[in-house]
């Protein structure tokens, strides 16, 4: 039973990577099968070629994302391999359909080949746009959040919300510095980072700490950790603290303006709300940073006025022009991006800045959110706008 539970936890925490590996294996196997068919090798040749393509193609793809710094040449190679693999995964369903259905209908081989190449071409165009352009096209959103119980002294308070930076996996320190410039340009009162500063391992801890050290806000930088930050959470938190950030791991901090108090708390993945919020001073307004949006459902009765989170990357893949509402996250029962109102409480979910798995975004651009808190007697929040 323990072994079964361990595998289940491993699968749940690595679901994106496991899905990509399986998809890559299938896509490269189909590529091998199509190649055998096209060249008329026949027989059982495909039993050798298809597994060989599956193993070698997937190994090459996985090898492009090591937990260490790589040079310029390998960075370019990674981009090429990533576009190719994404193209195969996207094109495989149609290619398999064409290669099975059309010959069964006595369609000439030349037509089957043209249909197959057209499918690959369309998937290649989509993948190149998603990986080379869309994932780097940061959307700076501005959202006014009406909070019925917000103290008058904090009316107009501004927050730059960053989430899911994933520095090092596909986005370098230099890319993250451009995000820093965007955050600093708004001269916010507070900068909040809601987890997943890196993707895996600890090789990029120093990079992300250098990035965080360049952030500037009147009341400083607050950070909560995400599930990808737990490889050596103590080391990462210590580095961030040295960089000038306030790392809130199941604890809170108070900012005061005259008699009013803003309590900013941070919850670790798997952390306890009781341990985090139980000893807060009475009478303050609570802003909770928690990586998982699902925590919002548990905050009822804890007096949380506003919660900021990320984790889902806004779905990362969504329907163009409708990506905020129709995306992988919402279609799988998770929170996408944007504002949620429940009674006097609010949740804002960021689409994040980085990516995991294939660095692929369509319909859901990376987001840096500029939030303005306004005191209101009734819900009157304005949706995000560019």
Number of folded domains that form the chain: 2
pLDDT in tens, 224-281: 999 999 999 999 999 999 999 999 999 999 999 999 999 999 999 999 999 999 999 9
Q: What is the pLDDT of residue 16?
A: 57
Domain boundary among 103, 134, 165: 134
Q: What is the pLDDT of residue 1?
A: 40
Residue 10 has pLDDT above 50, yes or no: no
Question: Are 113 and 158 members of one domain?
Answer: no
Residue 37 has pLDDT above 90, yes or no: no
pLDDT in tens, 192-232: 999 999 988 899 999 999 999 999 999 999 999 999 999 99
**Which domain range does residue 83 map to?**
2-134
Question: Are 116 and 7 members of one domain?
Answer: yes
The rounded mean pLDDT for the chain is: 86
Question: Are 111 and 222 members of one domain?
Answer: no
Question: Are 122 and 174 members of one domain?
Answer: no
Q: What is the pLDDT of residue 357?
A: 77
Domain boundary among 134, 151, 178: 134
Question: Are 158 and 219 members of one domain?
Answer: yes
Say which CATH number the domain at 147 has.
3.60.21.10
Q: Using 50, 70 and 90 to split pLDDT, how confident is the model at 12?
A: very low
Question: Are 149 and 125 members of one domain?
Answer: no
Question: Are 23 and 97 members of one domain?
Answer: yes
Share of the chain above pLDDT 70, in %: 85
Residue 131 has pLDDT above 70, yes or no: yes
Question: Are 105 and 146 members of one domain?
Answer: no
Burial readout 225-257 (b: 16 or more C-beta within 10 A, e: otherwise): bbebbeeeeeebbebbeebebbbbebbbeebee
Question: Are 145 and 112 members of one domain?
Answer: no
Q: What is the pLDDT of residue 117?
A: 86
pTM: 0.87
Question: Are 199 and 84 members of one domain?
Answer: no
Q: What is the pLDDT of residue 9?
A: 46
Which residues are within 8 A (CB) of 8 and not within 5 positions of it... i.e. 6 or more apart? Answer: none
Question: Are 161 and 248 members of one domain?
Answer: yes
Question: Are 174 and 145 members of one domain?
Answer: yes
Q: What is the pLDDT of residue 363?
A: 92
Domain boundary among 134, 150, 172: 134
Q: Using 50, 70 and 90 to split pLDDT, how confident is the model at 86?
A: confident
pLDDT in tens, 321-341: 888 899 888 888 888 899 999
């Amino acid at each position: 039973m323990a072994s079964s539970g361990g595998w289940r936890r491993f699968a749940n925490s690595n679901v994106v990577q496991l899905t990509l590996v399986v998809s890559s294996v299938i896509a490269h196997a189909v590529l091998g099968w199509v190649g055998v068919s096209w060249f008329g090798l026949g027989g059982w040749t495909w039993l050798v070629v298809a597994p060989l393509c599956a193993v070698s193609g997937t190994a090459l793809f996985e090898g492009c994302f090591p937990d260490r710094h790589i040079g310029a040449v390998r960075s370019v190679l990674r981009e090429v391999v990533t576009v190719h693999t994404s193209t195969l995964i996207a094109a495989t369903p149609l290619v398999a359909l064409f290669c099975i259905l059309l010959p069964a209908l006595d369609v000439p081989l030349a037509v089957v080949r043209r249909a197959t190449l057209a499918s690959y071409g369309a998937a290649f165009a989509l993948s190149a746009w998603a990986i080379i352009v869309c994932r780097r096209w940061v959307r700076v959103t501005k959202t006014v959040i009406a909070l019925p119980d917000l103290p008058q002294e904090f009316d107009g308070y501004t927050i730059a919300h960053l989430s899911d930076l994933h520095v090092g996996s596909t986005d370098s320190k230099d890319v993250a510095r451009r995000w820093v410039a965007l955050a600093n340009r708004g001269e916010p009162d507070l900068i909040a980072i809601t987890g997943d500063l890196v993707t895996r391992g600890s090789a990029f801890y120093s990079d992300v700490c250098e990035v965080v050290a360049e952030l500037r806000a009147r009341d400083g930088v607050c950070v909560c950790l995400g599930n990808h930050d737990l490889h050596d959470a103590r080391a990462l938190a210590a580095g961030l603290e040295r960089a000038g950030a306030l790392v809130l791991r199941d604890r809170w901090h108070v900012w005061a303006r005259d008699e009013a108090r803003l309590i900013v708390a941070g919850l670790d993945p798997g952390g306890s709300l009781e341990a985090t919020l139980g000893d807060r001073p009475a009478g303050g307004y609570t802003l909770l940073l928690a990586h998982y949006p699902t925590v919002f459902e548990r905050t009822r009765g804890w007096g949380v006025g506003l919660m900021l989170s990320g984790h889902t990357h806004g779905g990362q893949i969504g329907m163009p022009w409708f990506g905020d509402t129709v995306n992988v996250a919402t279609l799988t029962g998770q929170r996408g991006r944007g504002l949620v109102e429940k009674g006097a409480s609010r949740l804002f979910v960021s689409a994040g800045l980085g990516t995991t798995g294939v660095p692929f975004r369509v319909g859901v651009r990376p987001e840096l959110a500029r939030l303005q808190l306004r005191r209101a007697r009734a819900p009157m929040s304005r949706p995000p706008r560019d």
